[in-house]
Structure 1
Amino acid sequence: MSLTDRRGSFVTDGIARPTLLLVHGAWHGAWCWEKLTAVLHTDGWRVRAIDLPSAGGRAGMQDDAQAVLAELELIDGPAVVVAHSYGGIPVTQAVAKAGNVSRIIYLASFQLDVGDSLLGFYGAPVPPQPDEFEAVPDNPVALFYGDVPLPEAEAAVQRLLPQSTRSFSDALTEAGWHTVPSTYIICEDDQALPANSQQAMAERSGAVHRIESSHSPFLSKPTELAALLSKIALDTDA
């Protein structure tokens, strides 16, 4: 049985659950969460996923953060935000202003601090033409979907979009993880964001978990990932 209590929490079988907001990474869209969302719904979760305007558009990171914040404002009750890859940057910015986020879950994600940007993380200069696009990387199957069945990986590649260059150069002005609890999930076989880089950022989180997967466990291991997200979202110390 599912219902909503007076605080807006989603209650399933007597357990009050926050809403899960899923935020994708660069070049992707809300579509990438479809397999995971189906498992989470079966497990009794209320889930929302958004499309960031920087994927396929000229929006910057701050625009993405505003989109995340606007989605959070539509959620009645507490929310746990799951941020993947680049999505961790606008989520970090947005959560600083949101009042209903109980936890951030960084999934192979950029957990950066004030003044940081994605390009800055790699020591790359600000591009002279920030209004351009970053093309989909070469060999995206190996980079993003190494343990995803090949037909499914190739279908995912067809849905990738050019990414706004500005989103990679915009720097954080606030960092929500300083005041909101955070958990990091390291993807150990990640070819896009190596595990050692994830580990360095994960030290900023209150708890760290690991999953043996490529950069995209929501496609390769949705059941395992759903179980881990459920554990974290319901455990105040996870």
Structure 2
Amino acid sequence: MSTFVLVPGAWHLPSSFDLLRGELDARGHASLAVKLPTTGPDPRGGLREDATAIRTAITAVDGPVLVVAHSYGGIPATEAAAGLPNVEHLIYVAAYVPDVNESMFTIHGIPDPDDSDGLFPIGSDPRTQLYADVPEAVADQAISRLVDQRVQPWVDRVTEAAWRTVASTYILTEQDASLPVELQNNMAARAQDVRRIATGHSPFLSRPAELAAILDSIVRERAA
């Protein structure tokens, strides 16, 4: 049986996937969520540390793995999954899909800052940016769980691109106020398969059952 390894985006802890994991469990799928070192509390390191945490989680699984990465999580997941024989599929959910020598900053065309040893602020209105279509009580809880995020992993450049050798799917969020749909379309071109979901940036909170159904369909199609 395959296991979903879930990689959160910036400012988010593994608990952000609790609703999605419940839906996956109901469909008979095992899952685990990774804690990224660059995401607080007590954030440290950069892209390499995040990638190491993901690789450690993947290699600890006894069996095939599907890596599901959200937003920033697509960057360390792309680095981490390269060369691991038990990774059978990469799934990018409104996520960055970097190539070798790219970073989040280069993808956005932003020059590297003079000092990357600091924190990147979440922004003044995370509800609108991240959770516009999330039920109010769920959004309130999600906002209360946001943590610090280091700048360093956004500057660090990828050295390996797993999507070049591993099958991949891009799940594009059509009402996203955080990661522009046009940019998602550009990155989705690097995947073999593209699905769409009519949500904002966080479908694992706004429509966890629908997202789980998409993930389930990917597994079933691979097995067919």
TM category (shorter chain) comes to over 0.9
Change (3 A) 1:116 1:237: farther
1:58 shift after superposition: 2.4
Tell me, yes or no, if the aligned pair for 1:183 and 1:206 is still in contact at 8 Å. Answer: yes
What is the CA deviation profile of residues 144-189 of structure 1, one whole-angstrom value per residue up to 9, with x for unaligned ones? 0010012221221111112111011000001000000000000000
What is the CA deviation profile of residues 182-203 of structure 1, one whole-angstrom value per residue up to 9, with x for unaligned ones? 0000000001101111111001
Letter in 2 for 1:173: T
Tell me, yes or no, if the aligned pair for 1:58 and 1:166 is still in contact at 8 Å. Answer: no
Q: Which residue does 1:47 correspond to in 2?
A: 31
Runs of 4+ in 1 over 6 A off after TM superposition: none
Letter in 1 for 2:175: D
Q: Which residue does 2:5 correspond to in 1?
A: 21
- 1:91 lines up with 2:80 in the alignment: no
Aligned equivalent of 1:78, options 64, 74, 79: 64
Tell me, yes or no, if the aligned pair for 1:27 and 1:161 is still in contact at 8 Å. Answer: yes
- Secondary structure at the aligned position of 1:184 is classed as strand
Q: Which residue does 2:159 correspond to in 1?
A: 173
Q: Which residue does 1:30 correspond to in 2?
A: 14
Q: Which residue does 1:107 correspond to in 2?
A: 93
Q: Which residue does 2:112 correspond to in 1?
A: 126
What is the CA deviation profile of residues 68-116 of structure 1, one whole-angstrom value per residue up to 9, with x for unaligned ones? 0000110001100000000000000011132210000000000110010
Letter in 2 for 1:33: F
Look at both structures and tell me which one has the larger radius of gyration over its CA atoms.
1
The root-mean-square deviation of aligned C-alpha atoms, in Å, is 1.3
- Secondary structure at the aligned position of 1:163 is classed as coil
TM-score normalised by L of structure 2:
0.96
State the identity %.
42
Q: State the distance in 2 between where 1:62 and 1:162 align.
A: 18
